[in-house]
Structure 1
Amino acid sequence: MSQSQDPDEQQTPLVEHLIELRSRLLKAIIAVVVVFAALYAFSNQLYEFVAHPLMALLPEGSQMIATEVASPFLAPFKLTLIVALFVAIPFVLYQAWAFIAPGLYVHEKRLAIPILASSVALFYCGAAFAYYVVFPLLFKFFTNTAPEGVQVMTDINAYLSFVLKLFFAFGLAFEIPVATFLLILTGAVTVQSLSSKRPYVVIGCFVVGMLLTPPDIISQTLLAGPMWLLFEVGILFGRLVRHPRGGRDESRQEQDDDSA
């Protein structure tokens, strides 16, 4: 009889978890939709803001164009949807945190919130760095290298796809401190091993800078320099880690004591 009850006892927690997961996903989607609805009336202004770094550098008489019939509507619509997700991401991550938090140990909970908050902040910083520092230099280079007789008139869809890739590229690049810290924390690498590989990391940063920026030393340095500094910040915080794989049993005992 007890064996027939085991499946029910095992199924009930799974169903409860699935219900909670659905609830968290619905809340996250609703948050994105609400932000999108609030921003939709300003979709054209949002596109103008994103396009300003290029528009300010276009030659006299040049402008952006739409080569597809629906582009004047779809490009601002797509941008507004992505901005809504961008704005709502802290709430979305909070829902993910609220779902997984009950299964974490005490020391993991203490670390998760600062890591999540710093990840979001660093991603925002990377996107802002791309917009205010990289874009002006990048578009100045492109517009000044146009051949004689070629008028620069960029398609709005092509421009949006280009800048979104750069936003995400720089946003992810600025996650280097978090990634470095987590690698050290989990014991995958040590501070000493990362420090010994510093020359290779510097070279890698300049290679990434070469791939993401125009072929000039100034633009490459603008990306490679911050990436290297962020790597050093990750190592600096990694030095604070003590026994990255230890403490789990202690945390388990602490959690058991709390539940008791």
Structure 2
Amino acid sequence: MKEDDKISFTAHLEELRKRLIICFIAVGVGFALTYGFKEKIFEILTLPLIHEMKSGDKMIFTGLSEAFFIYMKLSFFAGIALASPVVFYQIWRFVAPGLYHNEKRNIFPMVLFSVFFFSGGVLFCYFVVFPVAIKFFLGFASDIIQPLPSMNEYLSFTTKMLLGFGLVFQLPIVIIFLVKLGIVTVPFLRKNRKYAILLIFIVAAILTSTPDIFNQLLMAVPLMFLYEISIISAVFFQKKKEEKNTENKEKTEEG
């Protein structure tokens, strides 16, 4: 390795360390701020469950330290969410120097739409999926079976579902990104629609963790809708790319 390469590599590591420190500080501040509202945040998170529970039913914790650590975990997750704008900005500042001008221009809208779709997935899960899924699981209660949901189990279930829906709602961003890179094309997406639908139902069955087809449809139907939106958006980006290539070709021929 040349001396200049060593200096460049060291500078990149120093820049990465600087960005990571800022991200950790932002998450720490977010954690400290949200910990003061931990009970209120947990109350909001448990509203779908409380709505379906019978009068007098309560959540439980099975270990002496369980409630404390649940509040710590919840504040940590909420702190990450609160600090996410800072984290995204630091990621942008780190990768920006290595991008071309047109790539820099495209990255910001992609990040903005990514946050939008992730938030949409989380909200859809909370307001639409949670009430149906919780009602389904509590439906197994009977005269001899009483549901006693614990704080730890509920937090694990909700965070997995919220994160899962937030990630799968990134489908349009992923498809548009692949189209812009030329890895897939609009005709390919249309031709393989049936395989995409099959894959969507497989992913929905895994993430919903229930054999109930109705709960799976709650994830699969929005994903199929997002897939069609992705194709429509990809048509626009592909046409724009073709027009740009034609324009560059004409300039080259004129030159």
Superposed pair shares fold, TM > 0.5: yes
Query: 1:1-260 maps to which residues of 2 (within 5 A)?
Result: 7-213=2-208, 214-242=210-238, 243=241
Q: CA RMSD in A?
A: 1.9
In structure 2, distance between residues paired with 1:10 and 1:174 = 40
Q: CA deviation at 1:30?
A: 0.9
CA distance in 1, matches of 2:206, 2:141: 20
Distance change >3 Å, CA 152–CA 239, structure 1 → 2 = same
Offset of residue 29 of structure 1: 0.9
- Cα separation, 2, equivalents of 1:72 and 1:157: 8
The total of aligned residue pairs comes to 242
**Equivalence for 1:257:** none
Structure 1 residue 217, shift from structure 2 partner: 4.1
Task: Kindly state the Cα deviation for residue 67 of structure 1 after the two structures are TM-superposed.
Answer: 0.3
Q: Helix, strand or coil for the counterpart of 1:239?
A: helix
Determine the C-alpha separation between the residues in 1 that align with 2:14 and 2:207: 43
**Alignment partner of 2:52: what SS?**
coil
Greater Cα shift, 221-230 or 205-214? 205-214
Gaps of 5+ in 2: 249-255
* Deviation for aligned residue 1:203: 2.7
Identity in percent: 37
Give 1:45's aligned amino acid: K
Give, as a single letter, the amino acid of the residue that structure 1 aligns with 2:223: M
The answer to whether the 8 A contact 1:62-1:151 is kept is no
Q: Is the 8 A contact 1:46 1:76 kept in 2?
A: no
- String of CA shifts for 1:129-177, please: whole Å, max 9, x gaps: 1111100011111112223311111111011111111011101110000
Q: Deviations over 1:204-232 (max 9, x none)?
A: 32333333344444332221111011111
**Aligned letter for 2:217?**
T
CA distance in 1, matches of 2:69, 2:12: 37
TM-score under structure 2 length normalisation: 0.88
Aligned residue number for residue 254 of structure 1: none
Q: What is the TM-score with the length of structure 1 in the denominator?
A: 0.87
Residues 213-222 or 26-35, more deviating = 213-222
